[in-house]
Structure formats: C-alpha cells, structure tokens
C-alpha cells in the first residue's frame, strides 16, 4: 500500500500525534518492573483519524511517539537493521510482511490481550494465514486496490465521449496518453504496483516472474514515458485534487480523499465540483492488505497490544475508515462507516469485481532485483 500524504500534511500529522524519534524515556516515574508508559509507532502517512492517537493516549495514559514513512522499503530497511526502535508498524502484507515474518522480524501476538480480535473479517484472516500460519504475527488493518483516478470531464474533453474510462488502456495506450499529457498524467513510483498494472493490462500474470516480462513492461512504459509528468507516491494526490493531473495511477483511498478535498475546495470557493472518480479497471487490479505487527525488538509489548486492541474496536476502526477512505479489515466496523464510503464500489468493490483482484506474491530475489533495476531505468527514460 499505500503512500499517502504530501510533506506539509505529514509534518502536521507528526505535530498532532507527537511525532519524533522513538524514545524509551517514560513521561513520568515508572515503578520498578512495570512497563513504562511509552509507545513508538511507525505508520504510513495519514493512516489514522485526526484524533485516534490523542484518544488512545487519553484513555490509556500512554505517550505515543508517532513517525511516518512513505514506502515499504523504508520500513523494511529499519527492521532489517535489527534495532528499529519501534513497537507497532504497518507493513503491506505481500510481499513485505510475508518475507519479514519468514525472517523472524516480528514478535508473536498474545491474543489474550486482543479482546477485539473477534471483530476481524474471517476471510481476510484466512487470506493472511497463507503467509502467517495461525495468524500468529499479523493483524489485518486496511485493504484496497491500485487503479486509476480520473477527471471525467477533462478526459472526455481530450479523448471524446467514448473514452475507455474503465480500462488500463486510458494510461497504457500511447494514443490516449499522448492526448492526456496536457491535462497531466502521474504514475506511482513503486515497481510492484507499476509492473503489476502493466502485466494485467497485457493479460499476463503479474506474479509469474516470467523471463521476458521485464522487456514487456519496459515496452509498455517506454511507449508512454514521454507523456508521464511525474512518478511519485504522495504528491499525486494533491495534483489530482487541485486539477494539475487528470489521470493518475493511485490507491483507492488516496483517490477518494483527493475527491473529497476537491469537492470541499470547490464548495468553499462557490465553484462547481470537478467530476472525479476512482476506477478499478475491467482487466483487473492489484489488491493490497496492510497489516499491523510488533517488531521483535519492541520494548513495550504490553502497550503495543493495548494500541492494537484499541484500533480493533469497531467504532475506532470506522472512524479511521471515514478519515482515510479505505476499506477496514474490521467486519463489524462497516455498518458504522459513512454510507458514502461503505457504498462506494471503488472502496468496497462488489464480488464480481473482487474476483478480478490479484494479491501480489513474493518473487524470487533475483527477479525482484531485476524489476527494481528495470523500474529505475524506466523512470529515467533509459
């Protein structure tokens, strides 16, 4: 998943949530043998409600040091170093948490301390059990898809009334991309998502790791590279909201948030709201699940479990979904989510659409290295 906030907003979030370097220093005198009232959290940007951390601190008397990142690789590098300093982290399940569990980077969950575990979606738990036997280390948090954010009016103005609004062809057909470059195209800077999208459009399995797939993907992006304005994982959201981009490859919740921001800005200015939409292309899309885990080196296991259990409260989970516009892994939160989000087929797709969603798998290391090198070359246009 998911890469979610512009730098200024991240800074504001850090301030609001008490962000800073992880700290083991208690905020008050700590009785001998008792766990100090400190919790170090490392999460994606803009991935809780505005008051989530504050309310947890008030209810539990635990000081939260809250840091954010914008790429799974950033988290993984800290975990791989063996002393992350964090107590709760939020990796994407596949392939990141999958290989991190295998490498022994996470502490086993004490489910006796997770009273709200029963609210989790059993299908998602079953899905995760394939990479985390017995759901011993990973707690499903949010899930979504990678698709297209489209400014319908601008795209139809450029391509005509019959523009293929429900297809990856909007982006990957060079004839379309050439006409849309003036109104702005952005693509994620993530080899997993970008390779997956291109391979799905080509009718190929994005998890196959076939020998010729890198050349196939190079050709797809080589044909549209002159028309892509930027490759980024955060700024595209604001560009889409303010009209600087009419077509973006992005995450479902990001596009929903951007659409809401654009509507609010237009209303405040007394102007018509832009016609923005998130589309899961008819060819299919990558589905991701973000999870919660406790690094093996955590020094505040009790506090970590308390925070996770708090997030599993259906009311808390629903409030988070209302803010971030992602589907919650909490089955009992859905009824509490704003109907505008719960009934949005881009956020909670119907079963016939879910059938075309693909879970990314961990590829052999040599294939993954080749993909990363190829993606770097694709971005540079070489």
- Tell me the per-residue pLDDT of 54-82, one tens digit each, with 9 for 90 and over: 999 999 999 999 999 988 989 999 999 88
Based on the number of CB atoms within 10 Å of its own CB, is 315 exposed (0-12), middle (13-18) or buried (19 or more)? exposed
Identify whether residues 373 and 232 lie together within a single domain: yes
Based on the number of CB atoms within 10 Å of its own CB, is 11 exposed (0-12), middle (13-18) or buried (19 or more)? middle
* Segment 8-23 mean pLDDT: 36
pLDDT at 9 over 50: no
User: Residue 89 domain-assigned?
Assistant: yes
The C-alpha atoms of residue 293 and residue 101 are separated, in whole angstroms, by 10
Based on the number of CB atoms within 10 Å of its own CB, is 279 exposed (0-12), middle (13-18) or buried (19 or more)? buried
Residue 243 domain boundaries = 145-286+357-380
Strand order in the sheet with 63-69: 63-69, 38-44, 88-89
List C-alpha distances in Å: 237 to 4, 234, 251, 269, 300.
8, 6, 9, 20, 35
Q: Domain count of the chain?
A: 2
Identify whether residues 237 and 227 lie together within a single domain: yes
Identify whether residues 374 and 237 lie together within a single domain: yes
Identify whether residues 173 and 282 lie together within a single domain: yes
| pTM exceeds 0.85 for this model | no
3-state secondary structure of 185: strand
Residue closest to 241 by CA, chosen among 193, 275, 268 = 275
The response to whether 193 counts as a known ligand-binding position is yes
The C-alpha atoms of residue 89 and residue 145 are separated, in whole angstroms, by 20
Identify whether residues 222 and 361 lie together within a single domain: yes
Question: Looking at the DSSP assignment, which residues form a beta bridge with residue 176?
Answer: none
pLDDT at 365 over 50: yes
Residue 22: per-residue pLDDT? 47
The response to whether 351 counts as a known ligand-binding position is no
pLDDT tens for each residue of 292-319? 999 999 999 999 999 999 999 999 999 9
User: Residue 1 domain-assigned?
Assistant: no
User: Residue 100 domain-assigned?
Assistant: yes
Identify whether residues 107 and 192 lie together within a single domain: no
List C-alpha distances in Å: 96 to 7, 137, 234, 290, 333.
24, 13, 20, 10, 26
C-beta separation of 59 from 303 below 8 A = no
- Measured in whole angstroms, the distance separating CA 239 from the mean position of its chain's CA atoms is 18
């Amino acid at each position: 998943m998911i890469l979610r906030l512009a730098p200024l907003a991240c800074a504001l979030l850090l301030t609001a949530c008490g962000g800073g370097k992880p700290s083991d220093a208690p905020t008050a005198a700590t009785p001998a043998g008792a766990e100090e009232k400190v919790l170090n959290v490392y999460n994606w940007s803009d991935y809780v409600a505005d008051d989530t951390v504050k309310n947890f601190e008030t209810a539990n008397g635990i000081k939260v040091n809250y840091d954010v990142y914008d790429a799974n690789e950033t988290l993984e590098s800290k975990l791989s170093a063996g002393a992350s300093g964090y107590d709760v982290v939020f990796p994407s399940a596949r392939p990141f948490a999958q290989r991190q569990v295998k490498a022994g980077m996470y502490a086993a969950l004490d489910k006796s301390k997770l009273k709200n575990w029963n609210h989790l979606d059993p299908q998602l738990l079953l899905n995760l059990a394939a990479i985390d036997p017995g759901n011993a280390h990973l707690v499903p948090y949010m899930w979504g898809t990678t698709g297209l954010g489209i400014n319908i009016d601008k795209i139809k103005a450029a391509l005509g009334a019959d523009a293929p609004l429900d297809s990856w062809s909007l982006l990957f057909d060079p004839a379309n991309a050439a006409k849309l470059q003036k109104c702005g195209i952005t693509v994620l800077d993530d080899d997993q998502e970008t390779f997956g999208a291109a391979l799905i459009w080509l009718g190929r399995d994005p998890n196959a790791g076939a020998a010729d797939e890198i050349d196939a993907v190079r050709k797809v992006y080589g044909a549209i590279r002159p028309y892509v304005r930027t490759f980024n994982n955060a700024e595209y959201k604001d560009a889409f909201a303010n009209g600087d981009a009419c077509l973006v490859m992005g995450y479902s919740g990001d596009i929903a948030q951007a659409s809401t921001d654009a509507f609010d800005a237009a209303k405040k200015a007394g102007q018509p709201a832009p016609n923005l939409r998130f589309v899961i292309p008819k060819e299919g899309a990558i589905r991701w699940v973000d999870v919660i885990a406790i690094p093996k080196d955590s020094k505040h296991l009790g506090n970590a479990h308390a925070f996770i259990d708090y997030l599993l409260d259906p009311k808390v989970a629903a409030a988070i979904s209302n803010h971030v516009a992602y589907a919650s892994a909490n089955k009992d939160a859905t009824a509490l989510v704003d109907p505008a989000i719960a009934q949005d087929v881009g956020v909670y797709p119907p079963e016939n659409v879910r059938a075309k969603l693909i879970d990314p798998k961990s590829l052999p290391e040599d294939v993954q290295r080749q993909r990363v090198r190829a993606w770097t070359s694709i971005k540079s246009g070489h």
